[in-house]
Amino acid sequence: MPQKPQTLEAKIVAKSRLFTVEQVQLRFSNGVERTYERLVNKGQGYGAVMVVAMRDARTALLIEEYCGGTDDYQLSLPKGLVEPGEDVLEAANRELMEEAGFGAEQLEFLTHLSLSPGYMSQKIAVVLARNLYEKRLPGDEPEPIRVDQVDLYELSELNARSNFTEGRALAALYLVRDLLEQRGELQR
């Protein structure tokens, strides 16, 4: 494994309600120095969760909501922040109820995914939710969220849609499909 670079200096160069930008001056083992900027999450928040909620053996729920980053309505998986006092599974079930109107009797943590590790330290926990039941909780969304679905064997078609661009959601769907196939719980 390569030797991590030495941090020569680190300072906050910008901060907003949601983001903190840190500038880091690094020296690599070969003597080369570089300045990096990254979004950091130093002790702020309790993490985030993304839910692959299975409506049946092959069908996962999707939600469509407005995304400020793309200035458009996008399909993705239910997701959100872990609140104080919650564990990842409790947060996953709450977000599922708030965004999709379903709860899950069975929740399983699968992995953590990062979005852009070259620029961000944040990771999101991926949770598989099964045995769904209808239950809606009020959320913090400014408007109702549309619920959609996808067959796990139609992910290529989903990825071709202009309103589905969330790389972590696509990775989570493929991960769940492969896991369920390996367990013998899913067949074409």
pLDDT along the chain (188 residues), means of 10: 90 88 92 90 74 97 92 95 94 98 98 86 93 95 93 96 95 97 90
The amino acid at residue 70 is T
How far apart are the C-alpha atoms of 37 and 49, rounded to whole Å?
A: 25
Task: Give the pTM.
Answer: 0.88
Angle at 142 between CA 85 and CA 135, to 5 degrees: 55
Burial classification of residue 80, based on how many CB atoms lie within 10 Å of its CB (0-12 exposed, 13-18 middle, 19 or more buried): buried
Predicted local distance difference test score (pLDDT) of residue 142: 87
Predicted local distance difference test score (pLDDT) of residue 69: 84
Predicted local distance difference test score (pLDDT) of residue 155: 97
Predicted local distance difference test score (pLDDT) of residue 44: 53
Residues 6 or more apart whose CB falls under 8 angstroms from that of 93 comprise: 103, 104, 107, 129
